[in-house]
Amino acid sequence: MRVLLILIAATCVLALIAVRVPEGTAASDEVASVAAFADVAKVLNNPRCMNCHTTVNWPTVGDDQRRHPFNVMRGTDDRGASGLRCATCHQDKNQDAANIPGAKDWHMASITMGWTGLSPGALCRALLDPKKNGGRSGDKVIEHMRADPLVLWAWTPGGKRTPPTTAHKDFIAAADKWIKTGAHCPAP
């Protein structure tokens, strides 16, 4: 009787494992993937990135992510209201004398690419969702993070702004690992 119970219990455990692990992926890959995403999320949640990736109708500034001064709004094309365009003040590079950050084609991410207040799991799923991320596959998301001037700006932000503590190459390595191990997302 006891042996039978143990067998039934063991079968249940095995069945549970089979449900949790997607076909063709080792459980260790899932753990590694979720861990790599934690390193990615640490950068994404940095104020340098979050200030452009908001879910409200304006960009934010500073480490406390306060509302952008001068009543700047995202406008219909994420480049500012018609009377107050981002490019009126922001140029292709930082203007340190005026404390205005800059990089090529400075504008904010669309509201579907907004990350304010997302849990790590929700952030992870949003990045992978082509309906939210600008139609990108996992590889394209990485390519963007590797080379986009707005992303790279965060590591040379000018003024007294602090860059993410993770080096850009380590950030890309973590993102690569996250995708290659199956792009698993943490819960919740």
Q: Which residues bind ligand HEC (CB under 6 A)?
A: 43-44, 47-49, 51-53, 59, 61-62, 68, 70, 72, 74, 79-80, 84, 86, 88-90, 99-101, 106-109, 113, 127, 133-134, 141, 144-145, 150-151, 153-154, 161
Contacts of 148 (CB under 8 A, 6+ apart): none
In whole angstroms, how close is the CB of 188 to ligand HEC at the nearest point? 19
Question: Which is nearer to ligand HEC, 74 or 184 (by Cβ)?
Answer: 74
CB contact burial 24-48 (16+ within 10 A = b; e otherwise): eeeeebbebbbebbebbbebbebbb
- Give CA–CA dist 139/37, Å, rounded: 14
Question: Which is nearer to ligand HEC, 21 or 125 (by Cβ)?
Answer: 125
Amino acid identity at 142: I
Question: Which is nearer to ligand HEC, 32 or 152 (by Cβ)?
Answer: 152
In whole angstroms, how close is the CB of 103 to ligand HEC at the nearest point? 6
DSSP category for residue 69: G
- Asked if residues 184 and 128 have their Cβ atoms less than 8 Å apart, the reply is no
In whole angstroms, how close is the CB of 82 to ligand HEC at the nearest point? 11
DSSP category for residue 167: -
Question: Which is nearer to ligand HEC, 34 or 142 (by Cβ)?
Answer: 142
In whole angstroms, how close is the CB of 32 to ligand HEC at the nearest point? 21
In whole angstroms, how close is the CB of 129 to ligand HEC at the nearest point? 8
